[in-house]
Structure 1
Amino acid sequence: MKGQLVVLNGPNLNLLGKRQPEIYGRETLADIEALCRHAASELGFALDFRQSNAEHELIGWIHEARESAVGLVINPAGYTHTSIALMDALATCACPVIEVHITNIHGRESFRHHSYVSRVATGVICGCGIEGYALALRRLAILLTKAAP
């Protein structure tokens, strides 16, 4: 294994497939986890996949990832637009961080256009559906390959 990638999911993503499927699609969080596990395995990485509705828990997991992960993918969901604390935690990560959104947040309500997380993310993928997660993992693999001695 080339190391561990961490995928973190924020509030309400546990309701994917049930909550507003006309916006977020019919795929579930379990579908996203399966997609990520497959992509990580193909790329030669271990995967830690988690979801929480609690901001403090996400921050704790980011702190853990600082010690164990070579790359991090985060869909901060509603915390994207509100959490300076999440941004501050991510800013402490030495590893690359990719922000992912299932929908195009820039094509939605104006309050969703601003992301605190984007300020500290290495890259942002939005509007690609759940495939954005696989794209994020591939991007991390490329970044980590370029950084390898």
Structure 2
Amino acid sequence: MSKTIYYEEYELGSKRETTGRTITETDIVLHAGQTGDFFPHHMDAEWCKTTEFKQRIAHGTLIFSVGIGMTADVINPVAFSYGYDRLRFIKPVFINDTIKVTVTITEKREYKRPSHGFVVELVEVFNQKGETVLICEHLLLVEKKSQ
């Protein structure tokens, strides 16, 4: 879906939430193959039994990628992703955990070009227990309606 939202139209405190998505063993195996990250924390079930978590954990980068993808349901032709700040992996995600994402507009600030401004979105990924598993800030560079 495409929807034009200019810098001035973003409201601090506004939120959007995704539906859930269950992380599978296939997700982990595919991500390992795509990234080359075959560390035993993700791939070796027997070794993981000797660790604190007692089972394989999903790659943090997998949860980041899936979580961000879950929020990408609207194309704004006057905005683009500038990047991500303060990315933190708070808790592990296990095979068959279901994640949901909440995005909250937390800040708006000026950009060096007066025709655009930054919109900061707080991205919070939660597991099925409501525990925060990942958090970061998404920076959007958004065109201004009035200049």
TM range (shorter): under 0.3
TM-score by length of 2: 0.25
Bigger relative contact order, structure 1 or 2, given CA contacts below 8 A and separation 6+?
Answer: 2
Task: Report the structure number with the largest CA radius of gyration.
Answer: 2
Whose helix fraction is larger, Structure 1's or Structure 2's? 1
| TM-score between both structures, scaled by the size of structure 1 | 0.25
Write 1 or 2 for the structure with the bigger share of strand: 2
